[in-house]
């Protein structure tokens, strides 16, 4: 079977039974040998349907007699695929979107409902036509222009208007497909317009950044090697090791320089963290939640691979990934340690610097993890904040007097960031926030009066991050 839409349906059925979207995607792609275009279509349909789930359910609610939750789950999934193609896929003709969705219904146990599927999607198209047919999703927004904005090069998707409530939280949640609680968290930190921009950014397909290994090569050498292979990249200001891929790359492992250890994949926001830690050659560094090791290997590069890095993680299988990467990058200074860092007592007062890249809800990286917005809840965030406080309290004892600890997350939730640090500082008089010395942070990184740093994705086109650098006073016991 090589029908991309049927493969997407099978994967989405697994997602609705609890599978992670990326795992479900890998599972279906491993069973077939698809051309690159079809692989991209399967990927787009799966991730897009998961991301836009709330909006697609709202369309079913709006156009069908039975609400989305009342539909058979497999039929609901098929309708998601149909509506997703009509509303969000510029290159798929409306007729193809409708016909292939009807065919999916026929082949997956709903042959008696093909007329219903056909009628529902065509009713949507009729309403889109009556409203000017093709235009921008943002017609539904509270702020943006209400007139369609057609592309001169290619037709935009069809946008029948969504019936949206006046409440700004629900309105943004339905329009951009997020749970209300996430919208509420953002609106408490940003104004409406910025929150909408952040929603739009999180619904984009993610970019891929790499970090060159200066111990093996130079950024210029990597640029030349990739461009000679027809792969376009651009530099990222203020990040001396960072390049961003432009367009499709094909298999990452087959690109020039990968096997040779010239570079590794790491988002530009994550690269900021190790610069803020500012490790020095010959020091002892402990990375207490190290796997899969992007920041650990970056620390080794910044130390010129001289000194000792203890890479700790609870999961030995994830540490194996770090081991593979450090071997490929030809790094010698990293030693693995398996276990829960909250239980370690052997590292007391031994580290010049500690990195706590804390387990978090990942709300700054939801564009990469299509289902994260539906998996995380206010309860899971509360549980994570307890874990983060425990990790910070215990691993801070690893730092020598006068040493540094950097706390970082890829979430934008204050309960996992500002509140964790404020609680720690209130209980730890021998610790204080410190501005970075050796690395000039980019201007776009928001430094707050309290001294911590936030990267907002919609402002700088990179993952959302929170980073704070703490120093232990010399008179600490």
Cα Rg for the chain, rounded, in angstroms? Answer: 24
Burial of 145 (0-12, 13-18, 19+ CB in 10 A): exposed
**pLDDT score of 12 more than 80:** yes
Buried/exposed code over 264-292 (b: 16+ C-beta within 10 A; e: otherwise): bebbbbbbbbbbbbbbeeebbbbbbbbbb
The partner residues of 355 in beta bridges, in order of sequence, read 287, 406
Question: What is the average per-residue pLDDT within 120-129?
Answer: 91
Q: Write down how long the chain is.
A: 477
pLDDT at 318: 87
Write the pLDDT tens digit of every residue in 77-101: 999 999 999 999 988 999 999 999 9
DSSP for residue 352: E
By three-state DSSP, how is residue 370 classified?
coil
pLDDT at 377: 97
pLDDT at 438: 52
Catalytically active residues, by annotation: 410
DSSP letters spanning 224-289: HHHHHTT-EEEE-TT-TTEEEEES----GGGSTTTTTTSEEE--HHHHHHHHHH---TT-EEEETT
The matching CATH number, chosen from 3.30.1360.120, 2.102.10.10, 1.10.940.10, 2.60.130.10, for 4-165 is 1.10.940.10
pLDDT at 304: 97
Question: What is the average per-residue pLDDT within 372-401?
Answer: 96
Write the pLDDT tens digit of every residue in 157-209: 667 788 899 999 999 999 999 999 999 999 999 999 999 999 999 999 899 99
* pTM reported for the whole predicted model: 0.90
DSSP letters spanning 10-49: HHHHHHHTT--HHHHHHHHHHTS---HHHHHHHHHHHHHH
Whole-angstrom distance, CA of residue 204 vs CA of residue 327: 33
Edge-to-edge order in the sheet of strand 263-265 = 232-235, 242-246, 209-212, 263-265
Residue 442 CB neighbours (<10 A): 17
Q: Are domains 4-165 and 268-472 of this chain identical in fold?
A: no
The matching CATH number, chosen from 3.40.190.10, 3.40.50.150, 3.10.180.10, 3.40.50.2300, for 268-472 is 3.40.50.150
Write the pLDDT tens digit of every residue in 216-273: 999 999 999 999 999 999 999 889 999 999 988 888 999 999 999 999 999 999 999 9
DSSP letters spanning 108-172: TT-GGGHHHHHHHHHHHHHHHHHTTSB--GGGGSSSS--S----SSSPPPB-PPP---SSHHHHH
pLDDT at 142: 45
- Nearest Cα neighbor of 267 from 47, 464, 58 is 464
Write the pLDDT tens digit of every residue in 398-428: 999 999 999 999 999 999 999 999 999 999 9
Residue ranges covered by each domain of the chain: 4-165, 209-265, 268-472
Question: What is the average per-residue pLDDT within 362-373?
Answer: 94
Q: Higher-confidence residue: 156 or 74?
A: 74
Residue 68 near residue 61, CB atoms below 8 Å = yes
**What are φ and ψ of residue 256, in 5° steps?**
-55, 135
CATH 3.30.70.1170 correct for 209-265: yes
**pLDDT score of 302 more than 80:** yes
Token pair for 425: 């500082």
């Amino acid at each position: 079977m090589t029908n991309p839409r049927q493969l997407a349906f099978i994967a989405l059925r697994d997602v609705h039974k609890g599978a992670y979207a990326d795992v479900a995607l890998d599972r279906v792609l491993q069973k077939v040998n698809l051309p690159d275009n079809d692989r991209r279509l399967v990927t787009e349909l799966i991730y897009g349907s998961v991301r836009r789930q709330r909006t697609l359910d709202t369309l079913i609610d709006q156009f069908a007699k039975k609400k989305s939750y009342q539909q058979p789950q497999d039929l609901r999934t098929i309708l998601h695929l149909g509506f997703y193609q009509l509303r969000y896929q510029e290159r798929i003709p409306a007729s193809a979107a409708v016909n292939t969705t009807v065919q999916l219904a026929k082949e997956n146990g709903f042959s008696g409902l093909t007329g219903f599927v056909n009628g529902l999607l065509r009713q949507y198209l009729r309403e889109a036509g009556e409203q000017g047919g093709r235009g921008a999703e943002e017609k539904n927004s509270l702020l943006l222009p209400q007139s369609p904005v057609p592309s001169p090069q290619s037709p935009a998707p069809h946008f029948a208007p969504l019936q949206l409530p006046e409440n700004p939280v629900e309105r943004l949640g339905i329009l951009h497909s997020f749970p209300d609680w996430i919208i509420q968290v953002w609106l408490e930190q940003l104004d409406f317009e910025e929150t909408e921009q952040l929603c739009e950014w999180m619904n984009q397909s993610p970019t891929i950044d790499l970090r060159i290994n200066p111990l093996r090569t130079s950024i210029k050498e990597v640029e030349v090697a990739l461009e000679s292979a027809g792969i376009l990249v651009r530099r990222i200001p203020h990040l001396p090791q960072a390049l961003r891929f432009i367009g499709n790359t094909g298999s990452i492992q087959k690109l020039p320089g990968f096997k040779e250890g010239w570079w590794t994949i790491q988002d530009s926001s994550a690269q900021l963290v190790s610069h803020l830690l500012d490790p020095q050659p010959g020091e002892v560094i402990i990375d207490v939640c190290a796997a899969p090791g992007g920041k650990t290997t970056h620390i080794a590069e910044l130390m010129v691979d001289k000194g000792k890095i203890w890479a700790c993680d609870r999961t030995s299988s994830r540490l194996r990934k770090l081991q593979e990467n450090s071997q490929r990058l030809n790094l010698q200074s990293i030693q693995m340690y398996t276990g829960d860092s909250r239980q370690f007592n052997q590292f007391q007062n031994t580290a010049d610097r500690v990195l706590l890249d804390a387990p978090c809800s990942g709300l700054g990286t939801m564009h990469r993890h299509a289902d994260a917005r539906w998996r995380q809840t206010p309860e899971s965030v509360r549980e994570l904040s307890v874990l983060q406080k425990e990790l910070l309290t215990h691993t801070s004892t690893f730092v020598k007097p006068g040493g540094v600890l950097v706390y970082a997350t890829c979430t934008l939730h204050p309960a996992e960031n500002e509140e964790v640090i404020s609680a720690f500082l209130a209980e730890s008089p021998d610790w204080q926030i410190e501005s970075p010395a050796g690395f000039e942070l980019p201007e776009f990184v928001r430094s707050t009066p309290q001294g911590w740093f936030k990267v907002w994705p919609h402002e700088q086109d990179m993952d959302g991050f929170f980073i704070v650098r703490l120093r232990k006073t010399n008179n600490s016991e």
